[in-house]
Amino acid sequence: MPVLGTLPVEARPEELTAAYRPGAFLFTSPTGVLLAEGERAVLGSPVEAAGALADGEIVVGALPFDPAAPSRLVVPEHVRRSGPLPAIARPAPRVGARWLAQHTDADAYRTGVRRALALMEAGELSKVVLARRLDLVAAEPVHVLDLVRALAARDPRGHTFAADLGDRTLLGTSPELLVRRQGRIVSSNPLAGSRPRSEDAVLDGRNATELLASAKDRREHALVVTAVADGLAPYCKQLSVPAEPELLPTRAMWHLSTQVSGVLADPDTPVLELATALHPTPAVCGSPTATARRVIGELEPFDRGFYTGVVGWSDARGDGEWVVTIRCGEVRGATLRLFAGAGLVPGSDPEAELAETGAKLRTLLGALGVEESA
Ligand SMILES: C=C(O[C@H]1C=CC=C(C(=O)O)[C@@H]1O)C(=O)O
């Protein structure tokens, strides 16, 4: 009956990250690195997970975008933890794949954005997040460990994750904390509103300033903050929601960010219950949620699966961390399928939104040393 909070800090963070092997579960965050190995049970839903947690188990894994679809949650055999990775980016290992092909859906994406904007003009919804895919094919199986280590080294303040999905590995570095629970304290870090980073310091600074001043991005952001605050309020006796967003940099992007924190009214509310109450926020779906979900189903020519779901861990006390499954991809043998989306509100421009998804794809493409061609 392991209780995560009481486990000693056992290893150096870099060692733990390097000890990951496909099939295991890795999760890095500002609170530490968690490596879970072996499968004592595979659970298909948060309800099943709640049963295992009530029996004193730890649960790790991923929930899909569609809350009605099967989850991939695991009760591991062993869990090791360490402190957090150093906050400074380190040289990343080279992912030595020879890439043969890239398949982009850029044209279909432009069309989808135009149709979504028309629906918004007709007053059907105020925000929808539309996503696209990029498939890469390598000459040999993708080296998952090198890719995970490169992601963690390049973005040490992000949440790098790798989760086994049975026939493939879900991996990425999410900047967006859906919810963390540490005792009575809950935290969430809704993000929405984005600009690309640039190696040119002047352009980089200009992008950040422009983002902070953008009324369109602030509207897009506010919808997510309101949804998170409304979702947490019934569970909290105190809730702090800053009135103004701040800037959050990742290796590839600038985001508008709000740090929400609260104190639980009932200290027994488990983190997974909070995560399922919040998911999906308008950072990945839209507003109103049900209409946005329907529009996504109609306009996106693929099933999101675990992309824009939730990935993380919970312990038996109810503590844990769950992040939004973005800046991610799925590796299956020699193929790598990447996902990226952008929040659309009235006034969004199809070319700018396409460019934004391209910039978001660079979280993984940068770690691979690959340029996106469209
Ligand atoms: C849906 C994604 O990002 C979301 C999170 C932060 C900023 C976003 C934006 O500005 O559009 C998106 O809502 C993605 O990376 O695929």
Here the ipTM equals 0.99
Q: Return the pLDDT at 3.
A: 42
Measured in Å, residue 171 CA sits from the centre of ligand 1 at 16
Q: Which residues are catalytic?
A: 127, 176
Angle between helices 106-121 and 350-368 (to 10 degrees): 140
Q: What is the pLDDT of residues 90-128, one digit of tens each?
A: 777 777 778 777 787 888 999 999 999 999 999 989 999
CA 185, distance to chain mean position in Å, is 21
Ligand 1 pocket, mutate which of 327, 360, 363 (most atoms under 8 A from CB): 360
Distance of alpha carbon 113 from alpha carbon 115, whole angstroms? 5
Measured in Å, residue 285 CA sits from the centre of ligand 1 at 10
Residues of the chain where predicted confidence (pLDDT) is lower than 70 = 1-10, 372-374
Q: What is the pLDDT of residues 266-299, one digit of tens each?
A: 999 999 999 999 999 999 999 999 999 999 999 9
Ligand 1 pocket, mutate which of 176, 194, 250 (most atoms under 8 A from CB): 194
3-class DSSP string for 336-370:
EEEEEEEEECCCCCHHHHHHHHHHHHHHHHHHHCC
255 vs 5, 196, 283, 307, CA distance in Å?
Answer: 31, 9, 11, 19
Ligand 1 within 6 A of CB of 256: no
Distance of alpha carbon 366 from alpha carbon 252, whole angstroms? 8
Measured in Å, residue 102 CA sits from the centre of ligand 1 at 22
Ligand 1 within 6 A of CB of 326: yes
Ligand 1 within 6 A of CB of 360: yes
Ligand 1 within 6 A of CB of 192: yes
Ligand 1 within 6 A of CB of 342: yes
Q: Identify whether the C-beta of residue 180 lies closer than 8 Å to the C-beta of residue 186.
A: yes
Q: Return the pLDDT at 87.
A: 85
Q: Output the residue whose Cα is nearest ligand 1's atom 8.
A: 192
Q: What is the pLDDT of residues 197-231, one digit of tens each?
A: 999 999 999 999 999 999 999 999 999 999 999 99
Distance of alpha carbon 237 from alpha carbon 261, whole angstroms? 11
Q: Return the pLDDT at 338.
A: 95
DSSP one-letter string for 211-249: HHH-HHHHHHHHHHHHHHHHHHGGGEEEEE--SS-EEEE
Q: Return the pLDDT at 10.
A: 67
Ordered by where they begin, the domains of the chain are: 4-87+101-368 (3.60.120.10)
Q: Are strands 177-182 and 236-240 parallel, antiparallel or unpaired?
A: unpaired
Two tokens, residue 323: 């992040």
Torsion of CA 256, 173, 322, 132, to 10 degrees: 70
Distance of alpha carbon 25 from alpha carbon 4, whole angstroms? 15
Maximum Cα–Cα distance across the chain: 57
Ligand 1 pocket, mutate which of 126, 129, 220, 256 (most atoms under 8 A from CB): 129
Q: Output the residue whose Cα is nearest ligand 1's atom 2.
A: 341
Q: Return the pLDDT at 370.
A: 79
Measured in Å, residue 223 CA sits from the centre of ligand 1 at 13
Ligand 1 within 6 A of CB of 129: yes
Ligand 1 within 6 A of CB of 284: yes
